[in-house]
Structure 1
Amino acid sequence: MEVNEEVADKIAELASEYYRKLKPSAKPTVRSNGTKEWNVLACVVAINRANEDLRLVSLATGVKAAPNEDLKRSNGRILHDCHAEILALRGFNAVLLKQIQLLKDSQSHPVPDLVSSSSDNSGIYRLNEEWSFALYISRAPCGDASMGLLYDEGCISFTDDDRCQYVDDNNKTIIRGRFNYAKKGYVRTKPGRKDSKVTLSKSCTDKLCSKQVLSILNSLTWDLLEAPVFLEYIVIPQLPRVAEADFERAFDTRIKDSVPMEKVQILSCSQRFDDDKTYENQPPSLMSSILLNIIEGQVTQQQSILNGVKCGAFVKPPNPLKKNCETVVSRASQWSLFKQIKGGVDSQTYREFKSQQTDRNALKERIRLALSKDGWVGTESDDCG
């Protein structure tokens, strides 16, 4: 199904409509010095293939990522990556899990609209065929797709021997944040201040590119659904012409000859996000948020997030995390819900379960090698039982 920019504008308006419904505490504030914070908004939107009706599935805001060392105490409860587009995809999977759980209860009302039970009652589910999916993002995703949009920060020049740009001295194909942004076609970690603690969480560009090979299902929904689900569209406001070559490289040419992938169509919409960044040195919001539209118009769930856990639940390391600090989209929450649905996995940990997905793991290794020929640098191990 081909979607035009008129539909892209409708997707942007739907995203703004739901954003306005968020609690004020989840939105950027004016700081004590009078400066207004900014944030990024992202939404997964389902498009009806027959009539182009839109249905928002998940919404998220956020620009933060957890330092790698903080994950040692996580046990699946800290969100590694609170960038809006990645949270929105986590929300998409959480909605699918919740709809599948409703399907297991034959008395449940209302009836889920995104997924259905398989005809043979085998415990496998399917995504309803009338839906295609778009990801709205209020600005170009961090990483390779936005390198051409960066201004020249003091004309800092790098050589390949400058160690500060790498997260691992032995890996020259994974670059830290926006260091040496003149280099194109490389994997990058999440951006941050030069003096900030290192996060090994990969850029949104790299993660979205990987999703065009692996699908937007996570390991849990991959196990429950009969076929993968891919984004067909990414919608970004007023995409400048300078970014077109960056998007083509980041989401297509740098991997298309190495591994099979699904093409994603990049669409520009005219409407800008109200709380977007408007000037350099404008402070980013510390807050992230998630909204799950579980059953459209009837069942929604909203949470504010700070430092990767529910707002108000964070304690500084090395202290242990508070009980029930995890968000609805955390690894621990989704694993708990999956175990209720699946059965027979109570004796396994999350990582043990993932290690058994041989086909998915092989595909993951292929896309990682295609993106970074020097190998991969993973985040701190984060398991839950």
Structure 2
Amino acid sequence: MLLTLFAIFGMLVRACIPPFNGVRYLDNATLLDEAVAQMGLYLQTGGATIVGGMGPARNLPAGDPGQTFIIPYCMADQYSESHLAGIMEKAWNLWFKKLGTPAASTGHRLGGFWHVINNGKLQRCFTDYKNKIWNPLGPAETLVVDASVTHSLRGMSTATLDYIPDSCPAVHRHRMDTGYYYGIPEDYTAWLTAHEKGHVFGLIYELSREDRDHHDHFECKNLEDCDQVVARLKANSIPNVDIDTICGSQIWGHVSQFDEIGFAAPAFSTLPFMDPYHKDKGGNPNGDKHPYTVPHSNDYDMMSIMQYASVDFIKQGNRFDVYSVPLVQWNHSGPNVTPPKEVTEDNALIIIAWDKLSTDDVDMIKSIYPYVG
């Protein structure tokens, strides 16, 4: 079954791109207002990344000691350029205010983003956006920034994780699709973009850690579109696969019959990322034997800009309480604490959206991109 799964998944994603982080969205004006109102109200510590674990992802290339890590990017099209140029700057400023200038005194070498220029002219990513014809004036590793526009109040954002080595030569292998919708406050879009930039740097959700359940509780039935996934499973059953399998997997939610729904379960999985592109000597997919892992600090960071809030991906019509949201925090949590068997108002807390970088977000960047003089 795994071989079949990887064969299917390999057709769904652009060649050589490692796992996308899951989309982050709000689906109606009420939830949007709730999330915006929540920004900036919580605490705890920790951090998680895919850099330094198993898998091919690594931190961005830099030159000689003392040089900084600069991420080249381009805009996918005119619409993206018109609507996201200011957002990109605001999002980086959220990081820069906490990180400071790359130097020995700040302890890091992350220099931010550089909009690709040739002969004094800003370069777009594609000469033909519709057919995705790559602009030869842009380096192959350039980050593609695209405005992900939908026809509902759903601002979807997603990004590739960290640097994909140049042994994978595909152009536009680094992507950041930023949800944009008229009426969403620009500061909120900048915050979402800063979250996605964290993925580009190599950071991953706190809730992807294998010890997540000692700190948070995930309730898949409260996810948007879970009922639709269950209905499709009943209509087209898959041997040995049920809703619990899909809810816990990094991959099943991306298989075609579920991926088109936009089911967010893969973003909540604590299993290792499986490499959907790795093949054995015979050319058969064997990515299950080549997982990505998530190294993390000892503490769990509820303040991280990479942590989901309880409101994220909530099923339409659900109440905003500990019983009805996809993710809650345990009131008493820790590596040596046995989590409760069920959620109650006494043992669980709503997780509030956080609009600033935590101290541990900064420390993780310093560990991935340490200053070397």
TM over 0.5: no
**With structure 1 as the length reference, what TM-score do the two structures score?**
0.27
Which structure would you say has the larger RCO, counting Cα contacts within 8 Å and 6 or more residues apart? 2
**With structure 2 as the length reference, what TM-score do the two structures score?**
0.28
